[in-house]
Amino acid sequence: MELSQLVVQTCLDGVVLLRVSNPPVNAISTGVRRALLDAVEQADTDSAIRAIVITGAGKSFMAGADIRELGLPAQPPSLPDLCNRIENCAKPVIAAMHGVALGGGLEIALSCHYRLAAEEVKLGLPEVLLGLMPGAGGTQRLPRLIGVESALALMLSGRHVLAKEALLLGIIDRHVLLGDAAAAGVQYAHELLNAGAGVRRSRDAEGLKDHAAAQAFLDEARNVLAKKSRHLFSPHKIVEAVQSALGMAFSEGLTQERAAFLSCLQSPQCEAFTHAFLAERAVSKAPETPGAPPLPVMAVGIVGGGLMGAGIAVSAIDAGLCVRMVEQDDKAAARGLANVEKVFAGQVSKGRITQAGMDSALKRFSVSTDYQSLKDVDLAIEAVFEDMNVKKMVFERLNLTCKPEAVLATNTSYLDIDEIARTVSRPERVIGLHFFSPANIMPLLEIVVAGKTDAQTVSTAFEFAKKLRKVPVRAGVCDGFIGNRVLAVYRAAADHMMEDGASPYQIDRALRDFGFAMGPYQVADLAGGDIGWATRKRRAANRDPNARYVQIPDRLCERGWFGQKTGRGYYLYPQGSRTGEEDPQVLAIIDEERRRVGIEPKRFTDGEIVRRYLAAMINEGANVVFDGIALRPLDVDVTFLHGYGFPRFRGGPMKYADTIGLGKVLADINEFSVADPLFWKPSALLVDLVGRRAGFATLNNALS
Ligand code: 3HC
Ligand code: NAI
């Protein structure tokens, strides 16, 4: 694009308006930097111009540095140079913000002399969420402007603030309640000129005057980070940079900031976070969507008001939809209603919504035992027991009751959706909507496209996910879809290690140290051991008799030790506590099982545990892509980031595999397969990629 198109200039009565135009979000690309620098220099030297207003065209001010350029060689002018040039202007420069002013966008605004923003604006320095830190003076100017405490809070969380809060904090000078920010910016420029106001530089602001208080906030931030963000790289660099702001001259602070920013930019964490950001945007676009506009969804039917049905209901009510629930009898209906009310009451007690908000939300909800209540719904979601016959019976009823164009969805975790679809007259309307528990909180939604599902049903499901603010991942039909299919394999790898000599506590610890929020045995205790036990019993008849089967989980379930809900599982939970204690009796049961099957326990290092667990996850992830169940490796990554607690700073299992090298993963699998060739079979996709010296990333571009 021509530079003149990237920054459009209009000049009237001595005030020039520079409007950055780089759709969709005015990312600050190399071209934008060049064009803005040229325009600012020209305006600063043009004696006919007395003030400069910088704004954004379209929906936003600027969303920050261009994320797609982050890995590329740097091109001049740099963003810090542009910001310094703006700040050094001899005539007043005003930032007029609307939409979003994030990252480098806010840093440009901070180097302007005055700032105003429309009410709905979102301001923030979200670099930390990309494994980065503000790198264009943000760590030096913001603390000087608003003090260390508030500046650190914004930079370490990446949180957005609205204009009202920004005004209170001192980030902006003016809050535009009505009308266009750009026009208000021009008017502000004239007012400043009329008042004889000159330039006013953020670098001269006095927010760091109380040195001792600022140092105390920095020390406190260091303590918190040591406990809460020990795995992360960039938050520590942010604190160091703010320390420089406190102890050094502005220009030296900028130099320190730049060096720290570059070290973040080159870190594997930045690559992983950026991959996650772009992957999340890629998964939200289904290949079926173009050309198949979604059907409107206003009313949703839910069959089954248990754990999942209630959570799904809350999620849909929260999205402003009308929800009608059907249960099997009056008692179950009353329980379904109570389940939904309980979730809302919990939100009221935590102060997330008001009682009035809860009452008004519940007006959009009704429960019945009569399927006729679903006759007008646009989408019906079945969330009854995980039993094929019960599900088929429910779909037969939905087929008779719902309007013909209604989408019929199942929340099954494992069952064959093609078989379910065969029970209805319009199988093209049947789809899987696999929510995760608790469904009103967990962001992931696997959208399972069955053999006959049509494009409009798929796009309706994706639009529904967007309304519910879920992260949709398109999956195909198989036992467990993407997430639970892969989970079954790495959980088995963990069980093998437990039987071979590692304790569940060591396994959990090693994986937490790797970055998982919880280890697999903590997760099992949280989810409830009975669910997995029922699945194992269901599959027992079809299990390969030669496949290794670890019976330790069954021994715990036989004792009724299902985890948190029964007060003990792998861990002990005395008096309903949620933090488990290690249980010597569990270790004794494990020892007994080892003796029973004749295993002499061996030692595992934490590194070995991580290596085996990840190899199992990556290998099955590759199988899922190879079989066409996941569209691309990035879909597996997003599934694990949003449904299974995979550490975001590692980008997802497939990204992690690319980071350590697929050759290494394959070598690990080949090594493990010597002892158990049936379990450790290298995926054909992995073998092929290693042979071609390619990574999973090469398969990500096909559709994104
Ligand atoms: N660079 C390049 N592209 C960007 C972008 C950016 N900074 N921000 C958003 N986009 C793209 C998205 O990839 C997406 O592209 P697609 O349509 O091809 O998928 C498109 O803009 C729309 O984005 P969303 O789908 O996310 O739209 P939303 O309206 O939901 O959200 C947003 C808009 C709030 C701007 C959100 O995209 C966002 O948070 N972006 C990231 C902002 C950010 O992190 N900025 C800091 C960058 S690092 C930096 O500035 C370093 C500096 O300190 C030196
Ligand atoms: P649940 O046992 O808590 O709830 C099932 C509900 O369905 C009960 O309230 C029951 O009364 C009702 N029901 C049974 N038959 C019915 C019928 N014929 N008509 C109307 N209602 C009927 O089970 P949960 O955990 O909510 O699971 C439901 C579905 O969601 C299952 O398919 C499960 O595999 C799936 N799922 C479960 C997850 C979990 O973590 N529990 C996660 C994701 C999916």
What tokens were used for 551?
Answer: 């019976």
Q: Which two tokens stand for residue 147?
A: 């003090």
In this structure, is residue 278 part of a structural domain?
A: no
Asked if 137 and 256 sit in the same domain, the reply is yes
Same domain? 509 vs 650: yes
Kindly state whether residues 494 and 413 are assigned to the same domain. no
Task: Identify whether 637 is part of a domain.
Answer: yes
Are residues 541 and 636 located together in one domain of the fold? Answer: yes
Q: What is the mean pLDDT of the chain?
A: 96
Gap between the Cα atoms of 48 and 59, Å rounded: 30
Note whether residue 256 is domain-resident: yes
pLDDT level of residue 510 (50, 70, 90 thresholds) = very high
Q: In three state form, how does the secondary structure of 483-537 look?
A: HHHHHHHHHHHHHHHHHHCCCHHHHHHHHHHHCCCCCHHHHHHHHCHHHHHHHHH
Distances (CA, A) of 680 to 620, 669, 689, 695: 10, 6, 18, 20
Q: Mean pLDDT over residues 257-265, rounded?
A: 97
Task: Report pLDDT digits (tens) over 329-377.
Answer: 999 999 999 999 999 999 999 999 999 999 999 999 999 999 999 999 9
Three-state SS annotation for 181-208:
HHHHHHHHHHHHHHCCCCCCCHHHCCCC
Nearest Cα neighbor of 635 from 128, 131, 287, 266 is 287
Are residues 21 and 113 located together in one domain of the fold? yes
Residue 381: its pLDDT value, please? 98
Indicate which CATH number applies to the domain containing 523.
Answer: 1.10.1040.50
Ligand 2 shell residues, CB under 6 Å: 303-309, 326-328, 332, 383-386, 390, 394, 411-413, 435-437, 527
Residues within 6 Å of ligand 1 by CB? 24-25, 27, 63-68, 79, 100, 102-104, 107, 126-127, 130, 132, 134-136, 138, 281
Give the rounded percent of residues in the chain with a pLDDT score beyond 70: 99
Tally the domains of the chain: 3
**Residue 280 falls within a domain, yes or no?**
no
In this structure, are 621 and 502 located in the same domain?
Answer: yes
Instruction: Verify that 440 and 497 share a domain, yes or no.
Output: no
13 and 33 assigned to the same domain: yes
In a domain, 432, yes or no: yes
Domain that residue 136 falls in: 3-266
Average pLDDT for 173-202: 95
Does residue 490 share a domain with residue 621?
yes
Domain boundary among 475, 493, 513: 475
pLDDT over 80 at 485, yes or no: yes
* Whether residue 612 sits in one domain with residue 496: yes
Residue nearest to atom 35 of ligand 1 (CA): 63
- Report the candidate in 333, 293, 341 with the shortest Cα–Cα distance to residue 317: 341
Does 526 fall in a domain?
A: yes
Taking residues 624-650, report their average pLDDT.
98
Report pLDDT for 478. Answer: 96
Residue 159 sits in a domain of what CATH number? 3.90.226.10
Residue with tokens 């209009």: 10
User: Is position 195 within any domain?
Assistant: yes
Distance 25 CA to ligand 1 centre (A): 7
Q: Report pLDDT for 576.
A: 76
Q: For residue 64, is pLDDT > 90? A: yes
Tell how far the Cα of 651 is from the centroid of ligand 1, in angstroms: 17
Which ligand 2 atom is the nearest neighbour of the CA of 308?
26
Compute the average pLDDT of residues 499-528: 96
The answer to whether residues 345 and 230 belong to one domain is: no
Quick one: pLDDT band at residue 704, thresholds 50, 70, 90? very low
**Residues 440, 470 contacting (CB under 8 angstroms):** no
The alpha carbon of 314 and the centre of ligand 2 are apart by a number of angstroms equal to 15
Per-residue pLDDT reduced to its tens digit, 68-107: 998 888 899 999 999 999 999 999 999 999 999 999 999 9
689-703 pLDDT, tens digit per residue, is 999 999 999 999 864
- Please write the tens of the pLDDT for every residue from 224-234: 999 999 999 99
Residue type, 420: I
CB 181, CB 163: distance < 8 Å:
no
Closest CA to 417 of 395, 385, 436: 395
Residues recognised as catalytic: 107, 127
